[in-house]
Amino acid sequence: MPIYEYHCSDCHNDFDKLVRFSDPKIDSPECPDCHSENTLKRLSTVAAFNRATTSTGASSSCASSGPFR
């Protein structure tokens, strides 16, 4: 079950919701603050980080090795 971000057009509240694909209100769930159904799914950003570090503490990048430069 994915977590989606939503924005309420009535009270301007931003909220997250764990949604099942079978949920009929996947596109416009009820706002938890004002209970309006005038909500929009937001475009989420994905957090990414590089865990690749050497024993000396220097970081290495996956992009610097291999055929894709």
Contact 63, 69 (CB under 8 A): yes
pLDDT at position 36 is 96
State pLDDT tens for residues 10-59. 999 999 988 787 877 777 899 999 999 999 998 776 656 666 655 555 55
Q: Could you tell me which residue, 64 or 48, shows the higher pLDDT?
A: 48
For the entire predicted model, the pTM comes to 0.57
Q: Could you tell me which residue, 44 or 7, shows the higher pLDDT?
A: 7
Q: How far is CA 65 from CA 53, 58, 68, in A?
A: 14, 15, 7
Yes or no: domain 1-45 corresponds to CATH 1.10.287: no
| Domain regions of the chain by residue span | 1-45
pLDDT at position 34 is 97
